[in-house]
Amino acid sequence: MAQRIRIEWPRGVLHAVLADTPTATALDAALPASSVASTWGEEIYFDLPVATSLEPDARAVVAPGEVCFWVEGRSLALPFGPTPISRNGEPRLVTRCNVLGRIEGDPRALAGIRAGDPVRVTVVE
Please check whether residue 80 is in contact with residue 107, taking contact to mean a CB–CB distance below 8 angstroms: yes
pLDDT digits (tens, 9 = 90+) for 10-67: 999 999 999 999 999 999 999 999 999 999 999 999 999 999 999 999 999 999 999 9
Please check whether residue 8 is in contact with residue 115, taking contact to mean a CB–CB distance below 8 angstroms: no
d(CA 72, CA 102): 21
Write down the architecture of domain 3-123 according to CATH: Beta Barrel (2.40)
* Residue spans of alpha helices (H) in the chain: 22-30
Specify the DSSP class assigned to residue 49.
Answer: S
Is the pLDDT confidence value at 87 over 90?
yes
